[in-house]
Structure 1
Amino acid sequence: ALYEHAIRNGEAVLTADGALLAETGQHTGRSPKDKFIVRDANTDGVIWWDNNKPLSKEHFDILHQDMLAHVEGKELFVQDLIGGADAANALPTRVVTELAWHSLFIRNLLIRPDRAALDTFEAKFTIIDLPSFKADPERHGCRTETLIACDFTNNIVLIAGTFYAGEMKKSVFTALNYILPAKKVMPMHCS
């Protein structure tokens, strides 16, 4: 159904081989210079701030409110998925996006719980991915219209202004890199 939605909504086209083809626009990869982490009492002494950009909680909250207003009344796609294969350290994640192909992308990269597990699924982390939302550097405390904003205290990532779907996957890995060391687990990922 996501495949059909993506084609019907003009998000992607079908290739001669039956693959779904989508354009990512100006971002053909991640935007590391546009990634920010909410700096608060929980992250201040844990995050390496020489290499990570801080964002105020106030800017994050304004961004969150603006993004929710942006999608009011629009069709959204929601996936409940698992980041990480080890049950003891897995991250149950809810991903909300405005694009069917982004939902399909993340559904194929993370682990899908079976139907029975979905009945009791409790997300510990949320990603809201809105490629059509353009961040305002002055209003949202960022660098450009593209923004990946991580609030680890409230377990939410907001992705705006990029059609590159890989930001969702990287956001799960970033969360695991924050969460797991405190549990004395060294996070690693491979293909």
Structure 2
Amino acid sequence: MIQSLLVANRGEIACRVFRTCRELGISTVAVHSDADASALHVREADAAVRLPGAAPADTYLRGDLIVKAALAAGADAVHPGYGFLSENAEFARAVLDAGLVWIGPPPSAIEAMASKTRAKELMGLAPLAEVTEADLPVLVKAAAGGGGRGMRIVRSLIALAAELEAARAEAAAAVGDGAGS
């Protein structure tokens, strides 16, 4: 049975997982960037580990630091939340390789579905180049965006290219990767 769970995320996502852990009698560990040191999720956790830095690319997106934090805090499991590293098969493997329990789909499933572009192909969704007026409105999402970042509703074909570029730019600014979808 899991005794202590580290949530590799922040904000409302982490708070929801912590609330469930409390109901189950599982102790909780938060991770936080310098900017989030006094955030609600840090205050609600039983323990907290600082990830040095402020930007997500230096903190919440560093799987190696999160695994070290889990081990240092004595957690025996890691929950990724959503966004950030939740779709990263290498992170899931690193958690498992460290002898921790991974709360999420197996790395093989993450690999099959983590690429939004590949997932859409597996589901048979039409590529953006094939979108017609009859398909509108459509939602475009940068492949690497997370937490709602890099998403745009497109209501006209004329706006498609500009909205896709805006989604890519927003994802690049938020998570350092503006790959299209």
- Give the structure-2-normalised TM-score: 0.25
Does 1 or 2 have the higher relative contact order (CA < 8 Å, sep 6+)? 1
- Indicate the structure with greater strand content: 1
- Indicate the structure with greater helix content: 2
- Give the structure-1-normalised TM-score: 0.24
